[in-house]
Structures are given as structure tokens and as C-alpha cells.
Structure 1
Amino acid sequence: MKLGARVLKTGIAIVLALYLAELLALPSPIFAGIAAAFVVQPTIYRSFVSILEHIQANIIGAGIAIIFVLLFGNHVVVIGFAAVIAITIILKLKIETTIGLALVTLIAIMEVQHDDFVIFALLRFATIMLGVLSSFAVNLIFLPPKYETKLFYKISTTTDDMIKWIRLSTRHATEHQLLKKDIEKFKERLIKIDQVYLMYKEERGYFKRNSVSKTRKLVVYRQMISAVRRSFEILKRLHRFENELHQVPEALQMLVQEQLDCLMSYHEQLLLRFVRKIKSTNEDDQINHTCLDHKEVTDIFMKEVNKTRDEEENNGYHLLHVLSAMLEYEEHLVHLDTLIASLQSYHEEDNHVSLPERDFE
């Protein structure tokens, strides 16, 4: 288990909420700490949305609590019915993620009934809102997330690991069951990449210039994810048709191996070029100049398919699955190349990515 930024921010928010509640001499400061624990979010944007939703939900919870206590008292049945009403309203407003804290507010207010109940209720409400605001302040000030660095690191490491497996697969050096397990792990890693991409996408630029640059970067990162998914598709097909590919002519096996080696080298260099680890290339010096073009590869594959058309074995037809994956992979890499070149041409000063020194899993 790793101690992440969100865990630290939660602890800091609770401490801040409790300290401020005690400093302001609010009754039951523990409720400020509870509220702070509910509201911490992984991104600043989500924190902003969350605080607006929690303010609405807490007003609903506090309002219903005050009305029900004044009209019906604070019997346990009344509290339960008030909770049902509060949940119904919150669900109607589509802010269901705030139900937990809204119910805490409602129950905290309805637990006592005395002459100064309204003042007591307002103080409880203020205590809980102090916790909400403390979490928001911590999200803004402490440990700002670097989702761009995290995103690129995950894409880069996943791509590297996938390329290693593809190289081993084309040389028939993989262990079938071990690769099968790693394919499942790759699926999980791709899901995590999508999640980090969404978090990075949610972060807003504060200046128009930064916003335009980030929009272009989002397009590049989306294409990076698309390219790594194409490489994953190749790995799955090499694994699925491992035996069939092993039975095709050795010359064709070498063609698949060399073409994929070329494309994967192209992919690796694109990622390095994005972080300026290697110099940019011009149109006359393409990175993938050693790769065969679509027509050459397709013609060679189709000749093999035609040879096996009248044979009992249909190994040649399985090659079409690998061929289509290779062609898609190349198309996505070429498009990624174009996007990176465009980004570095128009936003030369704003496309630096800091590489982390540790794993972000």
C-alpha cells in the first residue's frame, strides 16, 4: 500500500478543520473533521464541483432537520423520515455523492432539541461547512497534482512493457500462460491510464494561452493512448494465433518480426521526441523510413493467404488478423507523429514534461 497525495491531503484537511473549529470555539469540532474527510478530491476541478454540491446538500440537510424538529420533534422515527426526504431531494438534484455528508448534517442537528435549538442547528451547520471549506483550501494549496507527468509516465512504462512482450512473441520466446496473465494486467493498466487522462482533462488552465496549449496536449495524449491500445491489440493477436503463426513460412515470420520491430522502434522514438530526449525530425528524414509501406506488406501477406486457399490448413487466413492490427498500429503512429510535430511547432515553450523518478501505480 502506498501513501499517496490524496491520503496526505485528507489528513491535513482534518487537522486544519479541527484546529479552526477549536480556534473559533465551535461546539463539537469533531463534525468539522468528519466533513473534511468527505470532501477531499483528487483534482482541483473535482474539488470545486464537490464543494458546490456539498454546500447544496448540507443546506438541504440542515433545512429539513430544522423544519422537522420544530414541527415534529426529534423522535427516531422522525429522524428516519427526514433522512428519506433529504435523500429523495438530493437524488432529484443528481448530487448523490453528497448524501453521506448531508445525512451527517441532518442527524447532527436533529440529535438535540431545546430552547436554543435554531442557534444550535446553525452552529452545527457552520461547523460542518468549516470542514468542507478546509478540504477545499487544502486541495488548492497543498500538494497540487501533476497529472500530466503521471499520465505520460504510465503511458511510457506501459508501452515499454508491451513492446518487450511483442518482441518476445515475434521470436516465439514467450511462455503462453505467463503472457496470458500479463495481458490481463495490461487491461487494468490501460483502464488506469484512461482514469488519469480524465483527471488531467478536468484540470483547467488559468490563462487562455495555457488553455490552448493544454487542449493541443490533450489531443496528443489521447492519440498516445490510442497508439498503445493498438500495440496491445497486436500483442493479443500474436498470443491468440501463436501456434498458427509458428507454422507459416519462416520468411513471412521474419517479415512480421522486422516490420513490428520497425514500428515499435518508431513508437519508442516518438515518445522520446515528445519529451525532447531526441531531436525532432523533418519531413525529409522520417523516423520510420525503414518500414515497409502498406501496399508492400499487404501484397506479401495476400500471396501467403492465396497459397493456403486450397490447402486444408488455414493458417494463412489467421495472418489477416495480425496484418490488420499492424496496419492500424502504423496509421496511429503516423498520426501521433503529426500531432507531436504540430504541438512542438506552435507551443515550443509549453510542451515540457517532467519525468518522475518513481512509480505512480
Structure 2
Amino acid sequence: MKLEKYKIGMRTIKTGLAVSLGMYISDLLGLYSPLFVGLGAISTMQSSVSESFQSGKNRMLATITGAIVALIMSYIFPFNYFCMGIGIIIVIHILNLLNWKKAISLAAMVFIAVYMNRDTEIINYAINRVLDTSVGIIIGVLVNYSISAPHSNSQFDLIFSSMKDDAIDILYDIITGRNKIEISRFKSKLDKLEATYELAKDEERYSFKNKTKFNDNSIKLKLMQGVFNDLSTLKSLNCKCCLNESNKSLIEKLLNMTLFLKCDNEITREDVIYNYHISSLLSNLSNID
């Protein structure tokens, strides 16, 4: 039995730590409702530092939005359940317009808490709910940044390094005339590489350390996009085309094998396209090194 699936992830550990630390700090500061500190900390823990910063900012602004709508609704429409439902609709609609969809649940909780409050002066209560939630959000971001922060640059390199071998395997299938050429796995990795590259760019903006230049990653991404384009075209040709001597020699060197391919027929348009993309593919693979 594999024990890997029972392993507790670092994000899970950091979430628990952020909640505990948030509750402790709320007790030291004498905050009124530690519950909202915990909710803020949980909602901000993301898979990358940049996402955590962006999530924290959006949730803080969404929390303020929920509290303001609750204040306005409570003064215009004294408490009743129907008006509370209308208020929730307004909060959700505003956050959808601002594209803060992931913060809707937290903002709605703050709205309900403020709107239903009847024990203390409502403005002070709203300010305290925003303060409680903001403390939790800040702690969640700081914990995610300070402890085993996920680095998208390292993830980018891991994905990239595995893709060249995949490309060579697919090239081998194309050259040897395999009936079924499978590139969906390569495309999935390329999608993940592109997403990781965008995360790495975002992380640079939020980094307090020495910032990494992303020129190399940009070049690597373009190379892999070129590799995928060539592989896709070669697959779509779906023919046993004639390989020219230059490409044949380079492939034999790359694959460490001898190709016994003869081209007795007249060169066709498909052969020209085939050799162009083979040459482009070999050039990109060479540049990867």
C-alpha cells in the first residue's frame, strides 16, 4: 500500500498554524470575535505566494464591501429575513462585477454577522468584524510567505525538464510510423508550464527577496510552444513522408540509432512540410540544451 496519499501536505499544516497563531494574536489584542480571524486565515492560504497576496487583498476589500452593504441595509431596512436575502444578492453581485468571486463566502458571512447584530452599536460592530477578518488574512499571508513558501520557478524547471524527453519519445513514434501518435500528455504539461510561468511572474511582484529575471523562462516557454506546434503539425500530416538527409543525420544522432529509410518517390508538398517541421523541431530541441 502506498503511504504517499496519507501524507499531510505543507499547505494543510500551514493552514492549521495560521489559524492557531491568529487565534492567539486575537486573544492578545483582545479582539471581539476570534472566529472571523480564523476564517480570514483559512481563506487566504493558497498554493502560491502570489495567489496568497492577491487573495488576501481581494478578501480584505470584499470584507469591507460586505460590512458597508450590511450597514446601509440595516439603516434603510431594519432587520428582516427578506431584506437580508436582498443584501446577500447585492454583495454577491458586486463581488462578481469586481471579479472577487473567491471572496464571496467570506464577505457574505461578514454581511450576515453585521446585519443580524443587535447587541452592540452597529458601526463599531462592523469595524470590529472587518478588523478581525483583516488580522486573519494578514496572518495567513505572512505564514504562507514565511514558512516553506511554494516557489513557482522551481516547479517551472521540473515540468520543463521532463518535457524534452516526452518530445523525443513522440518524435521517435513519428519517425518510425507508429499508427497512434499521442501528444495529449505533452499538451497537458505545456498548459501547466504556461500557468506556472504566469504564477512565477506574479511572485516576482510580491517578492521581498532578490528578484529573479524571467528572460530565461520566457525563452524556455517559447521553445516548448514551438516544439508543441511542430509535433501537432507532424501528427496532423499522418503520412509516411520522405525524410531528407540533413534531418535523417540529426535524428540518428539525437536518437542514437540508424535509420533505414529510402525515398524513391518524387518529393511531394507533404514531404516539404514534413521536413520543415522536423527541422524546426530538431532546432528547438537543440536550443533547449
Task: Specify the TM-score bucket, using the shorter chain as the normaliser.
Answer: 0.7 to 0.9
CA distance in 1, matches of 2:244, 2:10: 47
CA distance in 2, matches of 1:220, 1:318: 30
Q: Decide which moves more: 254-263 or 189-198.
A: 254-263
Query: What whole-Å deviation, never above 9, does each CA across 1:41-62 have from its counterpart, x for those lacking one?
Result: 3333333333222222211111
1:320 counterpart (261, 272, 278): 272
**Counterpart AA for 1:192:** K
Q: Indicate the residue corresponding to 1:83 in structure 2.
A: 88
2:46 is paired with a residue whose SS is coil
2:72 is paired with a residue whose SS is helix
Q: Is the 8 A contact 2:69 2:111 kept in 1?
A: yes
2:213 is paired with a residue whose SS is helix
1:235–1:150 Cα change, 3 Å: farther
CA distance in 1, matches of 2:164, 2:92: 45
Q: Is 2:15 the counterpart of 1:10?
A: yes
Q: Is the 8 A contact 1:167 1:261 kept in 2?
A: no
CA distance in 1, matches of 2:61, 2:79: 23
Q: Is 2:219 the counterpart of 1:225?
A: no
Q: Is 2:116 the counterpart of 1:111?
A: yes
1:166–1:329 Cα change, 3 Å: closer
Structure 1 unmatched runs, 5+ = 266-300, 309-315, 341-361
1:12–1:228 Cα change, 3 Å: farther
Q: Indicate the residue corresponding to 1:124 in structure 2.
A: 129
The 5 Å alignment of 1:227-246 reads: 227-230=226-229, 232-233=231-232, 236-237=235-236, 241=238, 244-245=239-240
Q: Indicate the residue corresponding to 1:202 in structure 2.
A: 202
C-alpha deviation, 1:125, in angstroms? 2.4
Query: What whole-Å deviation, never above 9, does each CA across 1:108-164 have from its counterpart, x for those lacking one?
Result: 222332344433333322222222111111122111222222111111112212312
C-alpha deviation, 1:228, in angstroms? 3.8
CA distance in 2, matches of 1:257, 1:33: 63
Query: What whole-Å deviation, never above 9, does each CA across 1:276-319 have from its counterpart, x for those lacking one?
Result: xxxxxxxxxxxxxxxxxxxxxxxxx9x977x26xxxxxxx4433
Structure 2 unmatched runs, 5+ = 257-261
CA distance in 2, matches of 1:155, 1:3: 27
2:204 is paired with a residue whose SS is coil
C-alpha deviation, 1:214, in angstroms? 0.7
What's the TM-score, normalizing by structure 2? 0.78
Q: Is 2:217 the counterpart of 1:259?
A: no
Q: Indicate the residue corresponding to 1:48 in structure 2.
A: 53
CA distance in 1, matches of 2:28, 2:208: 37
> When the two structures are aligned, how many residues end up with a matched partner?
279
C-alpha deviation, 1:184, in angstroms? 2.0
C-alpha deviation, 1:199, in angstroms? 0.9
Q: Is the 8 A contact 2:60 2:133 kept in 1?
A: no
The 5 Å alignment of 1:8-157 reads: 8-157=13-162
**Cα root mean square deviation, aligned:** 3.5
Q: Indicate the residue corresponding to 2:259 in structure 1.
A: none
C-alpha deviation, 1:26, in angstroms? 3.4
The 5 Å alignment of 1:249-288 reads: 252=243, 257-262=248-253
2:148 is paired with a residue whose SS is coil
1:264–1:117 Cα change, 3 Å: farther
1:326–1:133 Cα change, 3 Å: same
Q: Is the 8 A contact 2:152 2:200 kept in 1?
A: yes
Q: Identity of paired residues, percent? A: 24
Query: What whole-Å deviation, never above 9, does each CA across 1:177-230 have from its counterpart, x for those lacking one?
Result: 5x43xx22222121111111111121227689x55x613223333334334424
CA distance in 2, matches of 1:65, 1:100: 15
1:142–1:96 Cα change, 3 Å: same
